[in-house]
Structure 1
Amino acid sequence: MARTIIPLWQQWQFADTFDEKYLEPDCSNEDFTEVQLPHTVKELPYHYFDEKSYQFQSCYRRKFAVPPHLEGMRLFIDFEGVMSYAKVFINGQCAGEHKGGYTPFSIDITQAVIYGEEERNLLVVYVDSTERPDIPPFGGSIDYLCYGGIYRDVSLRAVPQCYIKSIYAQPLLVSATTKALEVAVDIAHTERIPKTIDVSAAIYDSRNRKRAELSKSIEISVPDYSLSLMMDELTGIRLWTVEKPELYRVEVTLWEDGFISDTVSARIGFRTAQFTPEGFFLNGKRIQLRGLNRHQSFPYNGYAMPKRVQQKDADILKYELGVNMVRTSHYPQSPYFLDRCDEIGLLVFEEIPGWQHIGDSAWQDISCQNVRDMIIRDRNHPSIVLWGVRINESPDCTAFYQRTNALAHELDPHRQTGGVRCIEKSEFFEDVYTMNDFTYGTHGIPSDSQTAARVLRTQREVSGLGELVPYLITEFGGHMYPTKRFDQEERLVKHAQLHLAVQNAAALDPQKCGAIGWCAFDYNTHANFGSGDRICYHGVMDMFRIPKFAAYVYASQLSAEVRPILEPLTHYTVGDRAVGGIAPLVICTNCDAVRFTVGSTDLGLFYPAVDRYPGLPHPPVIIENLAGMWGGSWEDAVFTGYINGTACITRRFAANPIATELSLTVDETKLSADMPDAVRCVVKLLDQAGNVLPYSNEVVQIKLKGPGQLIGPHVIPLIGGVRGFWIKTIGKAGTVKVSAQTGVFESRKVSLRVRSES
């Protein structure tokens, strides 16, 4: 019988406490509510809440059937992520436990189940969501929240007694015309007698055409067996690049007596990735890394967002923000997010859980297990180019970090390691010196017309090493200049100038591989961090993924061939800035020139400030002097972007903005009823020129009908004229209709089609 995977995402019962009686199958349902996965133990307010409110012990229960045809197979319950301690019971008996909320684990339930078509088995999961000091990242203070619950997928897995534990497919000779592929296979054998099996490996292209195949006959007599299959002389293989991320599927199959007994597949890409003292090289081509850090958290639901929402974050980073790298701060993130990074060509720096604190030897053992679990889970992803094997911003700990680094190289000898630090001259065991550099902004942000005395430190003064090494800036900005999307215009502009300055400085330094800004999205945090409302406003976007001015610094670095960008960093108001006016006016754009017209007056063409930002592919246009008088005339404005002398994009601003339209958009209109699904909606109050009214906090009512559920409240205030929200499916097909209303304005109704293929 071949491998069988049965998703377990529906029909869970949840209680916000735990009692031994919950292990009994005939326990009353009065204490429980029905939920589906992914799930958070407590839906939180947007801000101003007590983070202790989700830190409690809870219980998840679900009945399930094990079909008779699975008898004789090994059975596992696979958990992708439970925060932060889980103890698993099957039919009243403890089957296993796991410490740690960010890596997967499996519980063997073979000896505990009852077979039959009826749901006679009871799965109970005790979840401890407190910040236990024996589990990374806890034990000290951490600047982010670790929301409780079973927040990733759970499934029942049935495999034969001799089955594939893992595969690792490593492309070789990538730079040659004829390439090779080494496939390492780990096999578990639980029968007591030796067995002869055939192992085959095949590679398929994106059109599902088989490109090569290799098989080998082996005899297994030990519980754990490893072998390597080498496929060479592969021709016509296309490289995985950030522009064209070509993916291949490797499939490993076990054969017994001529029949397939087990199959495991993984997607891979043929590419080389190397951090060097001269920069980062992908397939031998130097690429300036320009990225952002990402927390996997969302309003209300915390970590508990399904596949589509995880993938959308990758799309936002790549296509809206235009970055080429993301750091998964500060923990391994959703496999769906990483899958999407593979598909779209977004480079990834993935690291283990932690924030400054290092615990005792038992704590360190769990951290090393995090290294192991992270790498085994994710080493086939071509998007991942660096492993983070040091607790973020932690002090030196010689034996611990020698151990994590050695473990990473043992599990994946083909990728480099890094360890994010914030102290100078720390011990260096990794391959890449990864450093958080918050120099710029320590004493405020200089105006654009000034020359910053210090933007970034030199590599040698940070490392203290005599020689140059691969060097990557992994954080900057962030807490040096927290900025709300509804802040006064000057602060938003200075926030953007911070990112402009650092990315420019990093690009001009040949000893730096690049810079990853802190951070992509605002995030909830503990009371001893952030702005007092449990939010760190460090993102270039807010928690709803709505852009601040700094987002356009990154978006404008996209090639104009992808799409033209023209974003004047202004609300175009006469008196929002100190003294008044909008000068100096920074325009983030990838256009060759920008024409600025006020009323009927053409102020002329303005060009990118290459002299100020020579390191950027597309420096901003900066207009220093603009007439504007408090209480004087203020006319409509038009900005027109030109590429190769041709007008290609226009932005209009109204001198007297008036609420005109309530806009409602959704990221996707086709959803699934057969798996957990959710989609983001964005509501905006617009003026007559189509621009957001940036200080509106009008109360909006969300109206929802059909087989969907709103995440968060139905009545919400706009935040700076905009608000996002998510709708999740409930496992039923149909049409969801959603609209928004505030005062006399009502948005159009949007229809979401929820389909079932079963």
Structure 2
Amino acid sequence: MPHSDLFCDNWTFREGFEEAWTRQPQPGETVALPHNAVDLPFDYFDEADYQRMFTYQATIPWEDAFDGQEVWLRFDGAMANTRVYLNGTLLGQHADGYTPFRIRLSGHLVKGENLVTVVVDGSENPDIPPFGGQIDYLTYAGIYREVWVERGDAITILNTKIETPDPVAERKSVRVRTFLDNPQALPVAGNCRLTLRDSAGAIIGEASGPLGADGAELRIEGIEGASLWSLDSPVLYTATVTITGEGFSDSRTTQFGFREARFTTEGFKLNGEVIKLVGLNRHQSFPYVGYAAGREAQQRDAEMVKDDLGCNIVRTSHYPQSTWFLEHCDRIGLLVLEEIPGWQHIGGEAWKDEAVRNVRRMIERDWNHPSIIMWGVRINESVDEDPFYARTNALAHELDTTRQTGGIRKHMHSSLLEDVYTFNDFVLGEFERPNTNEVRRGLRERDEVTGLSHGVPYLITEYNGHMFPTKVIDNELRQMEHVTRHLEVLDAAHADPAIAGCIGWCMFDYNTHADFGSGDRVCHHGVMSMFREPKFAAHAYTSQLDPARKLVMEPVTHWARGERNIGGVFPLMILTNCDRVRMVLPNGQHVDILPDRARFPHLPHPPAILRIDQIDENILGRWGMSWPDVEFQGFLGDECVATRRFSAKPVLSTLQAAPDADSFGCDCQEMRVILRALDQVGNVTPFVDLPVNISVTGAATLLGPDQVSLKGGHTGFWLRSTGKPGPVEVMLKTPRLAPVSLTLETTETGERA
């Protein structure tokens, strides 16, 4: 690809915009990108605060290397309607907040300083998806992804498209289409060369051919010994395309994988193997800083979905998300359903035309990611509009013949124009409606939903969520019901081979408009808090993992005698992938608790449940008797492999500071630190609400306020590195507990390309 320099430092930022500002530098705050125009409080804010114009300015000094070259400014993402000026001249604009765009600077650069002015309009423009109705998430204004200065010859590579037509065959083939960028419409005469390499750099295939005006297509056949990309072994290869001709040369290297992903009437198949999809929806937002989080924060979110939550698929609700996130899904073996921006509302003809363009931008940006297995080409939960969705589907199939399409709907008997009937099933809440005698069930049957007389590929794309919002501070009974609802859906999905899988709503709590959530501008729909700390329901997913991969034993209790209605801890649910759990009391009495396969017969690992009628009440005592300490022991066969202790009389003892890692990149990357208030045996004290004061010195700055409050026994914050390697010192102070100091390190990282 063209030579690319990161252009993220020393931007000047100010609110508002006037045309005269584009002709001279304006005073303002010096910021680095990614940048959030308005950092919002955690809750109870006015979301209109960012729905206005903001101005960013930076200078590009003339370089001799620009002479005779094509020069571009590439934005990976800016929200939402963006105009770009150079030295007072409007060069271009972009009306999509979720996909990259390039502004050609060639012919407009002058020797000396060149003033770039970027105007970001954060208002909810009804002509731009997802706006026009009310959306249940926030679209934070700002240049929230990276910006690059690119330069190259008059003819360069614009994009490459890599297809593997027969991925599961013993002898594989690769087809690579190369698209040219030729803004001067020069005659094209030259050669294109393709080189395929494995992860060790060894060449596994080469081909070459002539360039045409529209690029080239090369194919390599008979590749032997290539490994498949899979969940457990996400093997990646690289394709390097090099073009040469009179007066130009360019090269681009792209990763890809060999894999076959198909939704069928019998479920989802990866490389011919049926896999039950289990996942969660993810927004790309973070507390305080909105969308403005860089590479390492995005990568950590992907790792949480797969490793911390045990899922095998994530849905990028409700828009294309960071390429850093998607690239990491490729590396770690996490499947992705990606969709165009929108939420229920369909606008006018101009709006629809923009939505169709969104399909093109999304697919052309991301068509080489092996992790992506479906394109979502319907506005989330919108009504049927067949002419519109015929266009989005036709374009998706034209651009990519290798992936199926889906359309996220909440209406039964909806028109099926896509390849897969994707449905948000909230039946597990309808039994609570008045005048309804419906029996509680986890999911509807496929044919009941589709209304079709024949089977079709079918995927559940949302459930729970707004049907049972659960806060981190909610009482134990509500938390257990939250867990149970997720388990019931998972069990129903595993029971029916016609259901490819289920993607729950949602990964973590998120900020939203006043029309939604709990009035505090937070949707408490996640199985994690906004800081990505697990609620009990998160362990409903993690506990389904093979114990060889990760042992899980999480009792759904705080072990407090009077926390529940009436009192006690029954029924006592333990989320585990152990064969059995033993509850041991100080007097030596113990009870073995077995997985409840009667209630959850289809789960790989049902929860162990102990009911009050299964135990002598004197073992734990009645009201008025003492409440004991307890230890839970998890067994695989006859071996005790996990233990959890609870104190009958917990005392606030420690403030734990847990960073995601000891070091992070010095190039303006983020590091999460979770704070937990622990008792004397190491359990979270869930109802502590103390403030915590945070001070940071060294090679990073604090994102968000310097005083936060513990909620549900925890809170968190992110640090951002300042551009140079070095130590980061964090000091934490809270009443009743000893101060905690934390030392981290920011380190050099390679060039981001």
| TM-score past 0.5 threshold | yes
* 1:690–1:291 Cα change, 3 Å: same
Distance 1:658 1:75 in 2: 63
How many residues align? The count is 742
Distance 2:248 2:659 in 1: 44
The residue identity in structure 2 corresponding to 1:123 is V
2:352 equivalent in structure 1? 364
Whether contact under 8 Å (1:389, 1:401) holds in the other structure is yes
2:10 equivalent in structure 1? 11
1:265 equivalent in structure 2? 253
User: How far is the alpha carbon of 1:172 from its aligned partner?
Assistant: 2.4
Q: Does 1:180 align with 2:173?
A: yes
Which residue of 48, 55, 60 corresponds with 1:52?
48
Which residue of 663, 669, 691 corresponds with 2:662?
669
Which residue of 136, 140, 145 corresponds with 1:147?
140
Q: Which runs of 5 or more structure 2 residues have no equivalent in the other structure?
A: none
Distance 2:378 2:508 in 1: 23
Which residue of 274, 286, 294 corresponds with 2:282?
294
Q: Does 1:250 align with 2:249?
A: no
Q: Which runs of 5 or more structure 1 residues have no equivalent in the other structure?
A: none
User: How far is the alpha carbon of 1:757 from its aligned partner?
Assistant: 6.0
Distance 1:368 1:39 in 2: 28
Cα distance per residue 1:488-513 (max 9 Å; x no partner): 00000000000000110011012110
Distance 2:185 2:46 in 1: 54
* 1:751–1:135 Cα change, 3 Å: same
1:474 equivalent in structure 2? 461
2:230 equivalent in structure 1? 241
SS in 1 for 2:269: strand
Whether contact under 8 Å (2:154, 2:248) holds in the other structure is no
Q: Does 1:537 align with 2:524?
A: yes
2:707 equivalent in structure 1? 715
The residue identity in structure 2 corresponding to 1:247 is L
Which residue of 96, 107, 116 corresponds with 1:111?
107
Q: Does 1:502 align with 2:494?
A: no
Whether contact under 8 Å (2:210, 2:216) holds in the other structure is no
Which residue of 709, 716, 719 corresponds with 1:727?
719
User: How far is the alpha carbon of 1:747 from its aligned partner?
Assistant: 4.7
The residue identity in structure 2 corresponding to 1:351 is E
Whether contact under 8 Å (1:291, 1:325) holds in the other structure is yes
The residue identity in structure 2 corresponding to 1:379 is W
Equivalent residues in 2 for 1:346-425, closer than 5 Å: 346-425=334-413
Distance 2:152 2:229 in 1: 32
Cα distance per residue 1:55-77 (max 9 Å; x no partner): 11010000112421232121111
1:753 equivalent in structure 2? 745
Note the aligned Cα RMSD (angstroms). Answer: 1.7
* 1:470–1:747 Cα change, 3 Å: farther
Q: Does 1:737 align with 2:729?
A: yes
Equivalent residues in 2 for 1:26-105, closer than 5 Å: 27-29=25-27, 32-105=28-101
1:228 equivalent in structure 2? 217
Question: For structure 1, which segment, 67-76 or 387-396, has the greater mean C-alpha deviation from structure 2 after superposition?
Answer: 67-76
* 1:193–1:53 Cα change, 3 Å: closer
SS in 1 for 2:589: strand
Which residue of 486, 489, 504 corresponds with 1:517?
504
1:160 equivalent in structure 2? 153
User: How far is the alpha carbon of 1:568 from its aligned partner?
Assistant: 0.3
Which residue of 617, 623, 635 corresponds with 2:628?
635
Whether contact under 8 Å (1:18, 1:58) holds in the other structure is yes
SS in 2 for 1:213: strand
User: How far is the alpha carbon of 1:189 from its aligned partner?
Assistant: 3.0
Question: For structure 1, which segment, 189-198 or 575-584, has the greater mean C-alpha deviation from structure 2 after superposition?
Answer: 189-198
* 1:713–1:91 Cα change, 3 Å: same
Whether contact under 8 Å (2:431, 2:439) holds in the other structure is no
Distance 1:193 1:17 in 2: 41
User: How far is the alpha carbon of 1:125 from its aligned partner?
Assistant: 0.4
The residue identity in structure 2 corresponding to 1:243 is D
Cα distance per residue 1:284-314 (max 9 Å; x no partner): 0000011100011111001111110011100
The residue identity in structure 2 corresponding to 1:246 is V
Cα distance per residue 1:381-431 (max 9 Å; x no partner): 000000000000001111110000000000101100000001111111000
Whether contact under 8 Å (2:703, 2:720) holds in the other structure is yes
Question: For structure 1, which segment, 451-460 or 573-582, has the greater mean C-alpha deviation from structure 2 after superposition?
Answer: 451-460
Query: Among the aligned pairs, what percent are the same residue?
Result: 44
User: How far is the alpha carbon of 1:334 from its aligned partner?
Assistant: 0.5
1:620 equivalent in structure 2? 607
1:546 equivalent in structure 2? 533
1:202 equivalent in structure 2? 195
User: How far is the alpha carbon of 1:28 from its aligned partner?
Assistant: 4.4
Q: TM-score, normalised by structure 2?
A: 0.96
Cα distance per residue 1:174-230 (max 9 Å; x no partner): 121111101111113345553421101111111222211111123x4x4xx042111
Q: Does 1:308 align with 2:308?
A: no
User: How far is the alpha carbon of 1:451 from its aligned partner?
Assistant: 11
* 1:455–1:66 Cα change, 3 Å: same
SS in 2 for 1:443: helix
Q: TM-score, normalised by structure 1?
A: 0.96
Whether contact under 8 Å (1:700, 1:716) holds in the other structure is yes
After TM superposition, the runs of 4+ consecutive aligned structure 1 residues lying more than 6 A away are none
SS in 2 for 1:419: strand
User: How far is the alpha carbon of 1:604 from its aligned partner?
Assistant: 2.6
1:279 equivalent in structure 2? 267
* 1:91–1:631 Cα change, 3 Å: farther
